[in-house]
């Protein structure tokens, strides 16, 4: 097994560089190995990764479903958790869902939404 911190940083890097399939796999490894309160956090990040992967593949229904599930799980965590600005990624994922719902009637907008996929921003509590 990899060092947890190393794996976590690798997953964030995959996510932020648009490698959502790889981010999913890496966050999933963390989720499966975790036994504490972070388990659902990692699961939420798995679902966001999956949702954005579906979005890139133009599966809007899958994207909306997985992003919604990820938001639901992450909303149980403080605004900053494990150095991730959770409230920010939730806010941006919610915007993506709204845009996906609008794109269902205007498929030319999908490319714009994909270009605006948010990053996992790191921060600390003040």
**Does residue 123 lie in a domain region?**
no
**Does residue 120 lie in a domain region?**
no
Give the burial class of 96: count Cβ atoms within 10 A of its Cβ; 0-12 exposed, 13-18 middle, 19 or more buried. Answer: buried
What pLDDT is stored for residue 1 in this prediction? Answer: 47
**Does residue 74 lie in a domain region?**
yes
**Does residue 18 lie in a domain region?**
yes
Q: pLDDT tens digit string along 41-69?
A: 999 999 999 999 999 999 999 999 999 99
**Does residue 125 lie in a domain region?**
no
Tell me which of 18 and 1 has the higher pLDDT: 18
Cα pseudo-dihedral 75, 26, 61, 64, rounded to 10? 20
pTM greater than 0.85:
yes
**Does residue 126 lie in a domain region?**
no
> What is the greatest pairwise CA distance in the chain?
45
Total of domains in the chain: 1
CATH number at residue 9: 1.10.3450.10
Residues 6+ apart with CB under 8 A from 115: none
Domain that holds residue 96: 4-115
């Amino acid at each position: 097994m990899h060092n947890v911190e190393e794996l976590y940083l690798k997953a964030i890097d995959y996510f932020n560089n648009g490698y959502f399939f790889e981010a999913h796999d890496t966050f999933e490894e963390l989720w499966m190995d975790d036994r504490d309160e972070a388990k659902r956090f990692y699961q939420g990040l798995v679902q966001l990764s999956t949702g954005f992967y579906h979005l890139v593949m133009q599966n809007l229904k899958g994207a909306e479903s997985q992003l919604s599930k990820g938001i639901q799980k992450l909303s149980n965590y403080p605004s900053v958790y494990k150095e991730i600005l959770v409230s920010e990624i939730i806010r941006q994922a919610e915007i993506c869902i709204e845009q996906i719902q609008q794109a269902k009637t205007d498929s030319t907008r999908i490319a714009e939404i994909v270009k605006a996929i948010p990053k996992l921003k790191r921060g600390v509590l003040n």
